[in-house]
Structure 1
Amino acid sequence: MIANPAAIAVAVTLLAAAICAVLIVLLRPVLQRYALARPNARSSHKIPTPQGAGIAVIGATLVVGGAFASVNGFAPLTSLFVAVPLLALVGLVDDIRPIPVLPRFVLQALAVGLVVFTAPDDLRLLPIPLAIERTLLLIAGLWFVNLVNFMDGLDLMTVAEAVPVTAMLVLFGIFGLLPWPVTAIAAALGGAMLGFAPFNRPVAKVFLGDVGSLPIGLLLGWSLLQLAWQGSIAAALLLPLYYLVDATLTLLRRMARREPFWAAHRTHFYQRATDNGFTVAGVVGDVFVLNIGLAVLAGASVVLRSVAADVILIVLGLGAVAVVLRRFSQPRVRPSGGA
């Protein structure tokens, strides 16, 4: 039992933020030299910008989160703390010299599978054979890791997603609705993202890179899966609902058009918004507010504990997401100036 989990969670958040910020300052000259992201037709940035700040985010998360999460033993975290660095290494190599699609996908599957198939057998979601359920979780995990990577295409976008999600997970943990290791990891990840935010605000001085976005996807996915295993499946869906809907609809649209859906592009709703006249700050601000609303709905789901309530809350969440996506899809109407 953790004494005063709220105070410890705040300490974890602040410590991870400080370590991440210091690491970015130290790493930025190296990234500027060896990991420069140059603008292309699919980019949202206009000037060459160093990428790879995910090294600091993931490093701070694992060091601080691991230290505080393992107070009752490290064994339950072993597979996660092997899989996350593996995925970060895959991302780092891909940032410097792109890896072909198939071997990259295989390595991602290895990392996600390590987390999914080493989980205790008594952690279940569906009344189906365990092997089938874990295979479905592997597929879902692979999609979630990649969609977080796909959605990391605008300054502060991943911050606007990860901070509300991790904050609500920490709140659940403080009230005893999540195991302490999950709470500590979420607090550390949220803190690290806060430490990264000043360097990534428009116009960004540094990007996460795949070395950050891929393992962040795994950490978020693992945390949300833990929430679902505690019986809060609706909350686990509501928290990342904007990312799930934007990325999935974009994938289906590209597949329907027979486009190479695995290739980089600029057709996500948030990217189309900037093409439609929205500022980066405006898009990210809308996503951040939406995610706060989704976090409130997730909290209501956990409190109410009702199937009927879950259905209503998910419909409300989908409605809110639909409003934002429709707004992003249409050219921004600028007020006309006076005569």
Structure 2
Amino acid sequence: MMAPPALDALLLVIGCLVTSAAFTVLALRYARWHQLLDLPGQRRSHSAPTPRGGGIAIVLTLLLGMTLLDWPQPRVPLALGVALLSVALVGWIDDHRPLSARVRIVVHALAALVLVGVWLPLAGAADTALVLPFAALAVFWLVGCINAWNFIDGSNGLLASQCLWLGLALAWVLAGVEGEAALLARPLAGVSLALAGACAGFLPFNAPRAAIFLGDVGSGALGLACGALLLAALVLAPGRAACLLILPSAILVDAGLTLAWRVYTGRRWYTAHREHLYQWLVRSGCSHAAVALGYLAWNLFVVLPACAAAWRWPEAAPAIAGAVLLLAAVLWWQGKSMLRRRARIKGLIR
């Protein structure tokens, strides 16, 4: 099965939605049976013990969905599957008993190396001096995505809805690839649709009130999947680079600026915290549903029109992407500043 025609795409999404929902029910039973719970705490945004590890449903659904697609090069899905399983496995273990950050980052880097090593010929730079810099940047990007997605997984429905958005958007970009590159772009568009369907099947269990959390098994694997699809889309559709840069802007700006600010202020940036904008919003009294919808509104009312404009006027695409990222940074800064002032007035912080 390939992503187009439309009927095959729809059946793929629906099939992955139903499969993911069924796997999530099983994951919920497993978590309850084994007391796999996230407990409330100072660095968490929930107030009741909640099962975790539900992201395994998305991972399994995505892997099954990949087997239904027609791949011109079997090594491409094999590498993606191995990398996904590696990241998911270390996350699954960490959900059961905490692993050191060093072990996790080593596994993440090895998974990224496997994926990049196999996918590198896609870039057409295997015989040039650009191969090593490209490979290094690609590995850094994938490891960064794994951890950025993990950072954003702290509010009901937020990460799953963002990945649902990304899956649909990337399927749109990849389905538009023409020529010889379309042979690989089509099944990758199918993976994007499978990702969207899997997230849609999980969402009812995670929002508006969470019956189960993604856990590290889900957030890390989603970060790798989204990062890999964005990287592949960049190689296969370089003319859409500006659009691809802003598609995950809600995640990357909040995670990236929060990390940069913690480094700048001398905090222990590698430890758990509640300093992301979405966490401040939840602590200020916004519901988890309102926060997820707010981030989704950014995608629909800012990013989507900007991508359409960049598609229509490619010569202005870099300026459009820059304007979107600048606006996101300004909103992040203004939002954090306003919420800090409110907290000080209420005496919650000094």
Normalising to structure 1: TM-score of the pair? Answer: 0.90
CA shift in 2, pair 1:291/1:328, >3 Å: farther
Superposed, 1:69-148 pairs within 5 Å as: 69-72=69-72, 74-121=74-121, 123=123, 129-148=130-149
1:300 equivalent to 2:300? Answer no
Instruction: Give the structure 2 partner of residue 337 of structure 1.
Output: none
Corresponding letter in the other structure for 1:79: A
The alpha carbon displacement at 1:317 in A equals: 4.3
CA distance in 2, matches of 1:181, 1:321: 34
Amino acid aligned to 1:11: L
- Offset, 1:203: 1.7
Tell me the distance in 2 between the aligned counterparts of 1:303 and 1:77.
32
Deviation at 1:163, TM superposition (A): 1.5
Q: Hey, what does 1:38 align to over in structure 2?
A: 39
Is 1:173 the equivalent of 2:174? yes
Question: CA distance change for structure 1 residues 303 and 172 in 2, over 3 Å: closer, same or farther?
Answer: farther
Deviations 1:87-144, CA, capped at 9 Å, x for gaps: 100000011111111111101100111111222435059x962112211211121111
Rounded to whole Å, the distance in 2 between the matches of 1:16 and 1:93 is 25
- The answer on 1:284 being equivalent to 2:292 is yes
Distance in structure 1 (CA, Å) of the matches to 2:305 and 2:138 = 26
Aligned equivalents of 2:99, 2:3: Cα separation in 1: 46
C-alpha change, 1:154 and 1:226, in structure 2 (3 Å) is same
Q: Secondary structure at the residue paired with 1:40? A: coil
Superposition map of 1:1-339 within 5 A: 4-34=4-34, 35-64=36-65, 66-72=66-72, 74-121=74-121, 123=123, 129-176=130-177, 179-229=185-235, 230-231=237-238, 232-292=240-300, 293-306=302-315, 308-320=316-328, 322-323=330-331, 326-327=334-335, 329-331=337-339
Query: CA distance change for structure 1 residues 214 and 104 in 2, over 3 Å: closer, same or farther?
Result: same
Which range moves more in the overlay, 26-35 or 167-176?
Answer: 167-176
Partners of 1:107 and 1:3 in 2: CA distance: 31
**How many matched pairs?**
330
Judge conservation of contact 2:166–2:248 (CA < 8 Å) in 1.
yes
Q: Which runs of 5+ in 2 are unaligned?
A: 343-350
Residues 163 and 193 in structure 1, CA contact (< 8 A), matched pair in contact too: yes
Question: Aligned partners of 1:268 and 1:3: how far apart in 2?
Answer: 36
8 Å CA contact 1:144–1:221 kept in 2: the answer is yes
Q: Do 1:170 and 1:186's aligned partners in 2 also have CA atoms closer than 8 Å?
A: yes
Relative distance call for 1:277 and 1:312 in structure 2 (3 A) is same
Q: Is the 8 A contact 1:87 1:107 kept in 2?
A: yes
Q: Following TM superposition, by how much is the alpha carbon of 1:300 offset from its aligned partner in structure 2, in angstroms?
A: 3.3
Write the distance in 1 (CA, Å) between the matches of 2:42 and 2:109.
Answer: 29
Q: Aligned pair in 2 of structure 1 residues 4, 96: CA closer, same or farther (>3 Å)?
A: closer
SS of corresponding position for 2:123 = coil
Distance in 1 (CA, whole Å) between partners of 2:124 and 2:271 is 34
Going from structure 1 to structure 2, the CA distance change for 1:227 and 1:303 (only over 3 Å counts) comes to: farther
Q: Secondary structure at the match of 1:69?
A: coil
CA contact (8 A) 1:54 1:209 kept: yes
TM-score scaled by structure 2? 0.88
Kindly provide the CA deviation profile for residues 146-172 of structure 1, in whole angstroms up to 9, marking residues without a partner as x: 000100100001123112211111222
The 1:78/1:139 distance shift into structure 2, 3 A limit, reads same
Q: Percent identity?
A: 30
CA contact (8 A) 1:297 1:317 kept: no
Secondary structure of the residue aligned to 1:142 is: helix
Out of 142-151 and 70-79, give the one that drifted further.
Answer: 70-79
Alignment check: 8 A CA contact 2:2 2:187 kept: no
**In structure 2, what is the Cα distance between the partners aligned to 1:11 and 1:324?**
38
Q: Secondary structure at the match of 1:330?
A: helix
Q: Contact between 1:5 and 1:174, CA under 8 Å: does it hold in 2?
A: no
